[in-house]
Chains A and B, each alone.
Chain A
Amino acid sequence: MFKLPRRRPASTLDRPQKSIPGQQMPARIWRWLTSMVLRPLQAQIWVYYPLLWKIKHYQPGLSALSDQELDNEIQSLKTALYQRGLTHSSVARAFAVIREVSGRELGMYHFDTQLLGGLAIIYGNIGQMQTGEGKTLTATLPVATAALAGIPSHLVTVNDYLTQRDAELMTPVYQRLGLSIGIIIQGLPTNERQMQYACDIVYCTNNELAFDYLKDSILLKGKNSSLNLHAQRLLNHSERDKPSDIDDLMLRGLHFAVVDEADSVLLDEARTPLIISGEEAPIAAQQEVYAQAMALISELVEAEDYKVWQQRRHIEITPSGEQKATELTKNLGALWKGRVRRLELLRQALTAWHLFERDKHYLIDDSTEQRKVIIIDEHTGRMMPDRTWERGLHQLIEIKENCSLSAPRETLASISFQNFFRHFHHLSGMTGTTSHVRSELWRVYNLPVVDIPTHKTSRRRSLKYQTFANEQQRWQAVVSRVKALKAQHRPVLIGTLSLASSEQLSAYMQKEGIEHQLLNARQDKLEADIVANAGAAGCITIATSMAGRGTDIKIDETTDNLGGLHVIITGLHESSRIDRQLIGRCARQGDRGSYELLLSLEDPLLSSTLSKGLQRMFAFPVPQPLKHWLALMAFRYCQSQYENKHERARKHLLRSDDRQRDLLSFTDSRV
């Protein structure tokens, strides 16, 4: 409780990392008990006020200093932190100095709320700050403080764009403090990465960080202890000219990480394992089998031979289907022998056919001469060109979409974010949306959530919510709504559920002759331009959930006077937090702004029974407000069902990971 980051040996050979505590019964009960007392106590914002006062107390003295004296002050602070490590009072002093430096270098003095946020973060909490409260600036406080104390710190963001933007924005502060800053983005070569990771502060994305960790782990296979590594180094020393694996290690251990958009990184993405694959190894027989499987599914009859559970995303093969499969595959070769293998192939083929939709789960990239299936990330709406589905699913979808077959890759290492981030000795984060997941954050990561008050009161207005019987009506309503807003010259951001629906809406707009810009996985190269434009008067932007976390749509004074950015939500995501992030694009930092929901009963989120029931009810003369309210409640209910389902899945994954780790203790690889 109230633990501060500690300095540990930081080199690519020592690599300190926390061992993951087990999830056995006693540990779980202890977590549960502490969640009653410790968590609420640590999560109280007033606990951090005394330190805030102390920081304020330093301020007059610091602002009176000349630039030279401030440099001296920084030096003496650094010495003190190196000598005694982080203490409560030294944290206050460091914060005050960093605030002063930031004010002088950037002209931005941290607000009280940002100081509180920084305190919450350095004490190992998740700071819940409303969207637009300046998380980038807040994060400088804990990160720089830890770095001044000699603790390598990672600031983890969700995409390269944010990484680069934040790092470049804050570089002057760090430079003045005498701290080096590293930036890790996609496509950086290994030796560059080593240099960047050697810096005091590293800005990186969660994917890059975890992948680099995995790459290191592959090099470390069989050399898990640091003694082992040192021995290896000595050995290399004697044979100087021979290049060695351990020279390629990048990370210096997992010391302190501040995770931006913590809920997204730590929870939403926690279920997708990160996988490093080896070389492609095409097997002709395998590819033939996939083609056969895809051909076979036309022989099977839905509902009779197999059942499709859309909500559970599961295919169930009935006994009659099993029998049919046995007969059909009698002469198809050796790979169809064996019941388990046979059924699995068929199930995968059926899954590819029924449960994966083009432009929702994946898109076809035909920009190059080879058509390629590219996965769309369900949370961020971005393309994931490096990712492939496992166990032949990717190949089967390629067959479905008539692409040339990619060869299955061999897994070399894999880890899930849940496991990766628990290895950090000191973990903290910040985000705007943690409702519903606080208990999970505590249970899994031991992270309490501290509510940071807003600096300025929010001027965001919720307009109305409307539900329409079908998609057609909904799009029409959206278009007419946009027309009206356009007449007022207000900028509008329209959030859509999937790539397909964003393009559909774009087509409607085109037909109506409304000028607009489109932001989705296909347009990801233009992202920065689109976002920069989106706040201009009368600009209409259609976006998928890509325009969510971290997208800062700046509006000027004239648009602010018109009423600011207006957000139209056309469909609810499985996680309400994604919706709220989208809403959070408007009315930032005390600006004006508004949002509304225009939903359709054909939304896939709504379960079929509820949807049908509501359709039927809409046929009766029910008062409009009641109708809309009931529909919204139904949406919320389904959304919470999905959220619960995902939470359960994560819990289950965590447990089975633990069990698996126990079981696999005889292997020499940790990941």
Chain B
Amino acid sequence: MSASLFSSSWYKVADLKVRLRKHAHIHRHVYREKVWYVLQDHVTGQFHRFKPAAYQMIALMDGTRTLQQIWEIACEELGDNLPTQDEVIQLVGQLNKANVIQTDKLPDIDRLQKQRTQVIRNRWLQQIKSPLSIRIPLVDPEAFLSATSLIATTIFSRLGAILFLFTILTGGVLAVTHWEPLTENISDRLLATENLLLMALVYPFVKLIHELGHAYAVKRWGGEVHEMGIMLLVMFPVPYVDASAASSFHNKYQRMIVGAVGILGELLMSAIAMIVWVSVEPGVVRALAFNVMLIGGFSTLLFNGNPLLRFDAYYVLADYLEIPNLAARGNAQVGYLIKQYLLKVEGLKSIAQSRSEAFWLGGYAILSYIYRLFVMVAISLLVASKYFFIGVLLACWSIWSSLLAPMTKMIAKPVSDPQLWHKRKTIYLYSCICLGLILSLLMVIPMPYQTYSQGVVYIPQEAIIRAPANGFIEKQLAETGSQVSPGQPVITMSAPDLIAREKVLTAQTDEARLRYQAAINDRIQADILSQEVRFINNELQEARERIQSLSINGATNGELVVIDRTGIEGKYFQRGDVLGYIVNYRQLPLTTVISESDIDQVRNHTKRVSLKFSSSPDQEYSAEIIRQHPSSTHTLPSHTLSTDGGGLIALAPDREYPLQSYQGYFRVDIDAENAPRQRFDERLHVLFEHEPEPLFWRWYRDIRRLFLRQFDV
């Protein structure tokens, strides 16, 4: 709106005769049904996009006309969208910065030198600003690529495409048919040490082929590739090539192929690996093939195939939508939207050329922002779990760069931007509201607060039927599943060795008694023998008791469950083995274990307890704490709670007894009156509800605890 036609600096440039340098080429492109001119600088490998109006002026720069003449011609020809003098200066300045023009005057050498150092410093700053992706250029592969350009023409041909499709189809079909063995126990196979080593060996090759794919694709349609190197992506080295020469291609599908060829190449490798994997016997080759498939599939899905990250798919998407520089312009579009609609600044022009472009720009910027935030947080958490300090640093950095920096920029903006100065009150108001909302959400508004733990329905000792002696089950007197009352015979066992032993002992008793009677005259001998009689008698008594106990009676009321569904009759059990249970489902006790960090809340601030059985997850029952064990223990009440049993608690790797947990836990017994117990040893999901509390204090406690544990501070 307030743009002025004339510039106060115009006199400095009016007499300049400007000429485009020879190494700069201009290509005519069509983006979203509009003509653009793309200027390619072969020396720096940079590209600049101009509108036809600007192109018309650039075309006039032939070294014979002065800028004043050029501007006058432009004014006559361009009518309503004539460029202002400032815009012309901007254009020439931009071209000069890109080093693609020459003037008839000696330029300010000092300033040029300063600019150069500035550019170099900026490149370094850029690296420091994004510590998660650092580029290290290594070689110029152009000579090698030119020498082997035959490969490019062979691969990127009709025959190549058909072969590619065929291989992919074969691989796909094989993958579907072998899905089961392929994916079986995948995480264990993936993370085994020797496999990780194999993967580290295979990875560079796969990525190298990927990058060479880009390079050859550029080569195929006449581009040049001058930079190849290693990028440290989250500290992990990945090769990269500079395929920006593709931007000069007229055909957007050619540009898309350059972007997509990495993904396609990896898919091809995966397909070939699939065929190999199917056809060879287990061994190193098969393991290698498996890893190639894994890398091809995984990295494609997670990184390169995701257009929200600035990898291959992003460029493919940008080319497909015909919106170059999608991300940066998207951000600018969001800035424009905020200024236009939130702050109501007048006289702004949208970056987008059309409604659909505006939609894509805005949508992409917001989506990718959210996704990037998510990835950054995930990466920080992952790193923090291994290297706590670096992880915290990374998290701080990512929070700063993605949340706080844009906000401060927004707040500081009115100071530097006169356009926004008059809107500063609105800006500060909105920023304060935003900040206030976030702060109150964190520090004031109480949020529902719960502690979750897993519990178990366990069986009390008296309900377990154990074998009283070594022996065979003679007869199961009560049916499995039938109700048993106390004292009712349930199982009888036969123990032939016991009966034999009883007989031996009876005979020995008789013998001993006779010898005792015979030694009536020798008092000392008689005493000794009397002791022996008593001893053998005791043994006999015990044997008899055992024989007695072979008929097992029910100890409590309940349903009889034997351990073997096929029946236990005629089977041999050792003394102490579990034969079965008499389960009184109505009275089975419930228990859970609480970690040391949560016990304080559970013990002192529990408002309500609720639980769910894992067999009926829809049904929730209210419960109450009936007993809290005062000290922490390493003994788990049931196998169900341990990770081995599908629970959450890790067992100690050097455990001395079967159910020893790695960390200490507090046992809390709970009871739910009306909850029907249908299975014993069933997993419970227990939720302890506390007083609602703002999030900040919870995080504060967590972080405080973390620091106490990690640094003792």
Contacts and interface: CB of A to CB of B under 8 A. Distances in A.
Interface of A: 19, 22, 222, 224-225, 273, 312, 314, 316-317, 337-341, 343-344, 347, 390-391, 410-414, 648, 652, 655, 660-670
Contact of B12 (A273, A316, A667): A667
B425 to A, nearest CB: 13
Given A19-B110, A663-B93, A666-B96, A340 B3 contact: yes
Contacts of B93: 662-666
A666 B89 CA distance: 10
A317 B347 CA distance: 11
A340 B97 CA distance: 27
A661 B454 CA distance: 69
Contacts of A339: 80
Contact of B105 (A222, A314, A391, A662): A222
A667 B93 CA distance: 10
Interface in B369-424: 415-416, 418, 421-422
Contact of A224 (B9, B12, B108): B108
A584 to B, nearest CB: 33
Interface string B71-100: 000010001101010000110110011000
A664 B89 contact: yes
A343 B109 CA distance: 39
15 contacts: A224-B106, A225-B109, A273-B8, A314-B2, A338-B80, A340-B4, A410-B11, A662-B93, A663-B89, A663-B93, A663-B97, A667-B108, A668-B106, A668-B108, A670-B108
B5 interface: yes
A17 to B, nearest CB: 12
A214 B111 CA distance: 19
Contacts of A668: 103, 105-108
B101 interface: yes
Given A338-B79, A648-B421, A414 B107 contact: no
A222 B111 contact: no
Contacts of A347: 2
Given A665-B96, A668-B105, A670-B108, A344 B16 contact: no
B8 A337 contact: no
Interface string B159-203: 000000000000000000000000000000000000000000000
Given A222-B106, A666-B103, A667-B108, A344 B4 contact: yes
A426 B568 CA distance: 106
B64 interface: no
A444 to B, nearest CB: 15
B8 A667 contact: no
Q: Sorted from nearest, which 3 A-B pairs have the closest CB atoms?
A: A663-B93, A668-B105, A665-B111
Given A652-B418, A663-B89, 14 more contacts: A19-B110, A224-B108, A340-B4, A340-B5, A340-B84, A341-B82, A344-B5, A648-B415, A648-B421, A663-B93, A664-B93, A665-B111, A665-B115, A667-B103
A543 B101 CA distance: 56
B112 interface: yes
B13 A664 contact: yes
Contacts of A665: 93, 96, 107-108, 111-112, 115
A572 to B, nearest CB: 23
Chain B interface SS verdict (over half): helix
B205 interface: no
Nearest to B99: A666
A281 to B, nearest CB: 13
A663 B111 contact: no
B6 interface: yes
B8 A662 contact: no
A29 to B, nearest CB: 13
Contacts of A661: 111
Given A666-B92, A667-B108, A670-B108, A660 B101 contact: no
Given A414-B8, A663-B89, A666-B92, A340 B82 contact: yes
B75 A411 contact: no
Contacts of A410: 11
B97 to A, nearest CB: 8
A410 B6 CA distance: 12
A653 to B, nearest CB: 10
A338 B87 CA distance: 15
B712 to A, nearest CB: 35
A666 B6 contact: no
A652 B415 CA distance: 9
A669 B13 CA distance: 9
Contacts of B115: 662, 665
Contacts of A662: 93, 111, 115
Contacts of B4: 340, 344, 391
Contacts of A655: 416
Interface string B110-141: 11101100000000000000000000000000
B699 to A, nearest CB: 32
A666 B8 contact: no
A431 B147 CA distance: 74
B510 to A, nearest CB: 108
Contacts of A411: 8, 10-11
Contacts of B112: 665
A412 B107 contact: no
B471 to A, nearest CB: 88
Given A339-B80, A652-B418, A660 B16 contact: no
Nearest to B114: A22
Contacts of B101: 666
A669 B96 CA distance: 16
A183 to B, nearest CB: 31
Contacts of B105: 222, 666-668
A343 B80 CA distance: 12
A660 B108 contact: no
A228 to B, nearest CB: 8
| Best-surrounded residue of B90, B103, B108, B418 (most CB of chain A within 10 A) | B108
Interface string B1-42: 111111011111100100000000000000000000000000
A661 to B, nearest CB: 7
A425 B418 CA distance: 32
Contacts of A648: 415, 418, 421
B12 A664 contact: yes
A602 B115 CA distance: 52
A516 to B, nearest CB: 42
A279 B1 CA distance: 32
A605 to B, nearest CB: 20
B423 to A, nearest CB: 13
A131 to B, nearest CB: 34
A670 B12 CA distance: 9
Contacts of B11: 410-414
Contacts of B6: 344, 390-391
B438 to A, nearest CB: 27
Interface in B575-630: none
B82 A390 contact: no
A665 B109 CA distance: 8
A662 B13 CA distance: 14
A391 B4 CA distance: 9
Contact of B79 (A19, A337, A670): A337
Nearest to A345: B5
A312 B101 CA distance: 40
Contact of A338 (B8, B75, B92, B422): B75
A340 B78 CA distance: 12
Nearest to A312: B422
Contacts of A316: 1
A666 B98 CA distance: 12
Contacts of A340: 3-5, 82, 84
Contacts of B3: 340, 344
A410 B15 CA distance: 12
| Best-surrounded residue of A338, A340, A410, A666 (most CB of chain B within 10 A) | A666
Contact of B9 (A19, A341, A344, A664): A664
B90 A663 contact: yes
A666 B106 CA distance: 8
